[in-house]
Structure 1
Amino acid sequence: MTPVPAGLVEAFWEYERALMADDVPTLDRLFADGPTTLRGDAHGLLVGHDQISAFRSSRGGAPQRRIVQTHVQAVDDDHALVIAVTELARGGRGQQTQMWVRTDEGWQVTAAHVSVPAPALDTRIWRVVGDPLVPPLGSGPLDGESVAVKDLYAVQGHRVGAGNPAWLAEARVEPVHARAVELLLEAGASVRGIARTDEFAYSLAGTNAHYGTPPNPKAPLRISGGSTSGSSSAVSLGQASIGLGTDTGGSIRVPAAYQGLFGIRTTHGAASTYALLPLSRSFDAVGWVTRSAELLQQVAEVVLPPTPRNPASDLVSVPGLLSIASDEVATVVDRYAAEHGAMRESWDLSELPGWLSAFQTLQAWEAWQERGAWVAPRLDELGADVRSRFEAAALIDDDRAAAARTVVDAARARIRELVGDRVLVLPSAATVAPLVGAGLDAVRAANMSLTCLAGLGGLPAVSVPRSTPQGLPVGVCLVAGPGRDRDLLQLAIDLD
């Protein structure tokens, strides 16, 4: 057996002391510099010293632990594998595997993998879960399916938390199910649990300041997208098959795009919003995400009322809308449109900035009418991003809201005229999912420039998953005239 190389044990313990002290410079020195150094865990793989260093600098330290066992398998005098068994201060055991190499700078790690005990409940995703939380109320087309319910819908016997602990503490126990929840239960589905949302659904990021960012397994270390964040992550992780959510300004379409899911925002007013906590009644729409287009359609047959079918559709793509997205997203969406015979059409988009402004103004005014009385004395109990939106909303008077509504009404008529009997193809989100910790203001503005069209028009929109050459999820959005939800869902199946 090859003896343990000189200096390796000392380097290992120097690393361990630095890790427990969150000594980032020492940790950086002990990991090999260069683009091929690896560090992986259950959340994803970091490739390159720069990514690893950025992760360490932003995480706020590793969980406290002690080393229980170490095993060294020396390859030769300059290479060795070290496996350490760890015991966490919070309980449970983990393992750490490291490949060490002797370099001119001394012993350094070139690859590492860390495992720790999984939490019994990932509170970034779920507020409460069961096995199931609520059993089916009947039998039907959704037998065997499980639902992650966004924490805005009433679930009988539970409170609505709305993504804010102060709201949850004061909330009543709901006496009945929301109608959308009830319909799913009657069709044979069970409720797996109540899933996290951005505060009051007033975000597209999924970065809840109180509960954290739900993981994005399709794009590790990137945000999940919101506000239907927990439901989407639960579906993406396979912890539920249906993620029930809402879409006001893109809160189904953005997480679907970021996580490689199918998602639908239904025609405004088509699905019941009974016992659903509102954000902006002019734009709120029921929606859901799934891992297949077929299940997306099956849910629609349960939740939506019968409507006439109009399956014949021409697809249209608008270069001016594609230009709002990043190049990598625009390329994927443009290719999808071209492959399916979409006609390129130039639209006059000079009014789009004004439409978006009116959308955001009316949405904010309505949000303040709904929540202002409760929020005003509790602004300090909101995350910074949602707080800033409510602070701006408080300044909108009735005259400004009325002017915005006039623009919204005109925009709705114009958008419906432009779409007509066709299907518009555009990006579901303007970029791939941003990295956790990245600035999001510019991304939000670009996203809403795209998502507001269906919101203003009150139109159904289906997000279909595609990916970049690098494997990052992209959403292709199909938008049709009001009431054509089923046509869109069948089209998504036919074109997939």
Structure 2
Amino acid sequence: MTDPVNAFVPGPRARIAGHPGGPLSGLRFAVKDLFDVAGLPTGGGNHDWAKANPIPTRHAWTVQTLLDAGADCVGKTITDEVSLGILGENAFDGTPINSAAPERVPGGSSSGSAAAVAAGLCDIALGTDTGGSMRVPASFCGIYGIRPTHGRLDLTGLLPQAPSSDTAGWFARDAATFAKVGSVLLGEASGPLPTKLLIAVDAFGFADPEVADALQPMVRKLERIAGAAREEIMAPQGLSVWARAQRSLQPVEAWQTFRPWIEQHNPRMAFSVAAGLIAGSQVPAGERNWAALMREEARARLRYLLPAGTILCLPTTPFPAPLRGLPTPELQPLRDRITCLCAQGGLTRIAPAQPARRHGERRAGRPLDHRWAGHRRQPDRRRPSHGGPLVSDLTPNLPDVVAEISALFERYEQALIDKEVDILDASFWNSPHTIRYALGENGYGFDEIHAHRVARPPGPGIKEKRIRLEILTLGRDFATVNLEFKVRGREIIGRQSQTWVRFPDLGWKVVSAHVSTMEGPRPW
């Protein structure tokens, strides 16, 4: 199969046949080069990443699920470098061609997947979305694409970027194929049609007038389907305020994700990618804390706006696809404007999906941002006759909960190194019942733990190398983190554990913690 639009990763393309007779038999799918495909390197859009990491021996969950359903894998597609891009340009592998507007960018970071579907080189393609990387390419290339609710799909075998915002999604050219893939990946049939439409007037006002006008026929059609519609302000604080919060949180997590690789291998990077990672390493604690609070406000706003059966409609992007090869100074304002309309996905973790339509000879995304009635709901919190709460869900290791705890733990560990006492304090339950046992110190209650932190010098501490990290979550409100590590400068094994509880009014907090070492023979 030829590749006239430069959608696929250069080099040999392995074809993997799907299971015969499945619901997706006869369909071809491509895979963004962030997902593991057994026997092929996971390149992440950066040649040095592939060199530093072993070739996977198992398929990512999403890849295996499509193969099991009968679809045939036809290759891996180009991504923006380590998924840190929104326009679809890659300094290593080039920019895939947007078949809808060849002189314009395809959108990223799932650029190759969108380009392959738009050009008819495959029927389906897998992509990811942290801050817009499914939605923007779908809009620019004129195809269907979805960012599912955060944690809805298993991300096993996916190269992460910012775990508290990362999602996996898929593209298709037609609605029937798009829905069929959704039934397979989500494990359920489509839910009932919405009964109420909300029109985000602040988002439409932010878009270019030509885009807002071009979208009005689709808005009217959605009104007829839903039967009831009203205008609403999506972000009372301001779209740019929500975007600022996402731009404060996502780069910090990206830096935490890629920091070990950067420090150990000093990889080659495009200037814009390196600049973004450096910026993520320098976001001050106060800004991160503010952004975390704004995230909670944004989530609360969308929970209020989007009860079951309601959809929120807004432009996917504020303008059609920009020209290819624009100078660097012209790119950042475009990225900033896109983030103002895409931040609600990563910030609030609600599920947007959008087909696209023509706007002249370019593409402007059709607006559709909704919570599907068929999506898995939060478990009910029922109360027994004595009035106390009953834990009704102890499902282990829900992917979105594991991602949250992983991000919180990495944030805590980095704060230990940097001695950012505010972040350390914010991680623990402010209660006299909180306990932390450590080497040479015991903290009974929040105040004692705080005093030990203030007295502790900054620096990497006793951990020289991680040996094994295990995270166990039960339901959505309880988790443990357990780390085995080598003690710095000594042949001693250390162990660290934390117990996290999600409080209704406080969020996740550590209620007990323990650090110890094991040396010499075991006493039993």
Q: TM-score under structure 2 normalisation?
A: 0.66
Q: Note the C-alpha offset of 1:273.
A: 0.4
CA contact (8 A) 1:266 1:485 kept: no
Q: How far did residue 195 of structure 1 move?
A: 0.5
8 Å Cα contact 2:127/2:169 also seen in 1 = yes
Q: Which runs of no fewer than 5 residues in structure 2 stay unpaired?
A: 378-524
The correspondence for 2:163, drawn from 263, 278, 281, is 281
1:334 paired to 2:216:
yes
1:343 corresponds in structure 2 to 229
Q: Is the 8 A contact 2:306 2:371 kept in 1?
A: yes
In the alignment, which of 163, 169, 176 is matched to residue 51 of structure 2? 169
C-alpha distance in 2 between matches for 1:411 and 1:293: 30
Provide the rounded CA distance (Å) in 2 between the counterparts of 1:238 and 1:120. 11
**In structure 2, the residue corresponding to 1:249 is in which secondary structure?**
coil
Report the RMSD for the aligned CA atoms in angstroms.
2.4
| 8 Å Cα contact 1:197/1:226 also seen in 2 | yes
Range with bigger deviation, 141-150 or 433-442: 433-442
Amino acid at match of 1:302: V
1:198, 1:207 within 8 Å by CA — same for their partners in 2?
yes
**Corresponding pairs, count:** 368
The reply on whether 1:222 has 2:104 as its aligned counterpart is yes
Match for residue 434 of structure 1 among 312, 315, 322? 322
Write the letter of the residue equivalent to 2:368: L
Cα deviation for residue 132 of structure 1 reads 5.6
1:398-413 equivalences under 5 Å are 398=285, 400-413=287-300
Q: Deviations over 1:430-450 (max 9, x none)?
A: 111111123322221111111
Out of 330-339 and 131-140, give the one that drifted further.
Answer: 131-140
- 2:29 matches 1:142: no
Task: Tell me whether 310-319 or 425-434 shows the greater mean CA deviation.
Answer: 310-319
Which letter maps to 1:480?
H
- Listed as ranges, the matches of 1:451-466 within 5 Å are 451-466=342-357
- CA distance in structure 1 between the aligned counterparts of 2:371 and 2:5, rounded to whole angstroms: 38
Q: Aligned partners of 2:89 and 2:279: how far apart in 1? A: 20
**Would you say the 8 A contact 2:239–2:341 is kept in 1?**
no
Is the contact made by 1:128 and 1:193 (CA closer than 8 Å) also made in structure 2?
no
SS of equivalent to 2:368 = strand
Distance 1:338 1:431, change over 3 A: same
Partner of 2:307: 420
> Does the aligned pair in 1 maintain the 2:96–2:111 contact within 8 Å?
yes
Q: 1:232 to 1:123 in 2, by over 3 A?
A: closer
Alpha-carbon distance change, 457 to 484 in structure 1, aligned in 2, over 3 angstroms: farther
- Matches of residues 185-200 of structure 1 in structure 2 within 5 Å? 185-200=67-82
Whole-Å separation in 2 of the counterparts to 1:274 and 1:236? 27
- Greater displacement, 377-386 / 192-201: 377-386
Residue 238 in structure 1 maps to residue 120 in structure 2: yes
Change (3 A) 1:142 1:132: farther
Indicate how the Cα distance of structure 1 residues 180 and 483 shifts in structure 2: closer, same or farther if over 3 A, else same.
Answer: farther
Output the amino acid matched with 2:71. A
Q: Counterpart in 2 of 1:303? A: 185
- The residue number in structure 2 matching 1:396 is 283
Question: What amino acid is aligned across from residue 219 of structure 1 in structure 2?
Answer: A
How big is the shift at 1:375? 2.4
> Tell me, which stretches of 5 or more residues in structure 1 are unaligned?
1-118, 488-496
Q: Is the 8 A contact 2:79 2:90 kept in 1?
A: yes
Decide whether the 8 Å contact of 1:159 with 1:168 is kept in 2.
yes
Q: 1:132 to 1:157 in 2, by over 3 A?
A: closer
Q: Which region of structure 1 is more displaced relative to structure 2, 349-358 or 293-302?
A: 349-358
Which position in structure 1 is the counterpart of 2:365?
475
What code does the residue aligned with 1:459 have? Answer: I
Matched residue type, 2:295: V
Q: Quick one: distance in 2 between partners of 1:411 and 1:482?
A: 19
Q: Which deviates more, 316-325 or 292-301?
A: 316-325
Distance 1:299 1:203, change over 3 A: same
Displacement of 1:459 = 1.4
CA distances 1:5-26 after superposition (whole Å, capped 9, x unpaired): xxxxxxxxxxxxxxxxxxxxxx
Contact 1:333–1:426 at 8 Å: present in 2 too? no
Aligned match for 1:211, one of 81, 93, 98: 93
Partner Cα distance (1:411, 1:456) in 2:
7
Distance 1:128 1:334, change over 3 A: same
Q: Specify the code of the residue in structure 1 equivalent to 2:173.
A: R
User: Is 1:460–1:484's contact at 8 Å kept on the other side of the alignment?
Assistant: no
Going from structure 1 to structure 2, the CA distance change for 1:340 and 1:274 (only over 3 Å counts) comes to same
Change in Cα spacing, 1:485 to 1:369, as seen in structure 2 (3 Å) is: same
Q: Within 1, Cα distance between the matches of 2:190 and 2:321? A: 36
Shift of 1:414: 1.3
Match among 304, 317, 340 for residue 449 of structure 1: 340
How far off its partner does 1:396 sit? Answer: 2.4
Change (3 A) 1:295 1:395: same
Q: Highest CA radius of gyration, 1 or 2?
A: 1
The answer to which of 404-413 and 345-354 deviates more is 345-354
Structure 1 pair 307–242 and aligned structure 2 pair: CA distance change class (3 A): closer
- Measured against aligned partners, the alpha-carbon deviations of 1:322-355 in whole angstroms (never above 9, x if no partner) come to 1211122111223321243273414163343222
- Residue 243 of structure 2 corresponds to 356
Which stretch shows the higher mean deviation, 234-243 or 180-189?
234-243
Aligned to 2:254: 367
Q: How far does the alpha carbon of each residue in 1:238-281 deviate from its partner, in whole angstroms, 9 at most, with x for none? A: 11111100111110110011011011111111111011111111
Q: Which amino acid aligns with 2:311?
A: V
Q: Which amino acid aligns with 1:251?
A: S
3-state SS in 1 of match to 2:355: strand
The secondary structure found in structure 2 opposite 1:216 is: coil
TM-score with structure 1 setting the length: 0.70
What amino acid does structure 1 have at the position aligned with 2:181? Answer: V
Counterpart contact for 2:255–2:278, Cα < 8 Å: no
- The Cα of 1:143 is off from its aligned counterpart by 0.4
Opposite residue 332 of structure 1, the aligned amino acid is: A
Match of 2:150 in 1: 268
- Aligned partner of 1:250 in structure 2 is 132
Please say if residues 139 and 186 of structure 1, whose CA atoms lie closer than 8 Å, have aligned partners that are also in contact. no
1:242 partner letter? I
Over residues 20-59 of structure 1, what are the superposed CA-to-partner deviations in whole Å (9 max), with x where a residue is unaligned?
A: xxxxxxxxxxxxxxxxxxxxxxxxxxxxxxxxxxxxxxxx
Q: Distance in 1 between matches of 2:101 and 2:294?
A: 38
For the residue of structure 2 that corresponds to 1:126, the secondary structure is coil
Name the CA distance, whole Å, in 2 between partners of 1:200 and 1:132.
Answer: 22
Change in Cα spacing, 1:130 to 1:190, as seen in structure 2 (3 Å) is: farther
- Taking the aligned partners of 1:424 and 1:444, their CA distance within structure 2 comes to 23
Identity of aligned residues (%): 33
How do 1:96-111 residues align onto structure 2 when only pairs under 5 Å count? none
1:383 aligns to what? 270
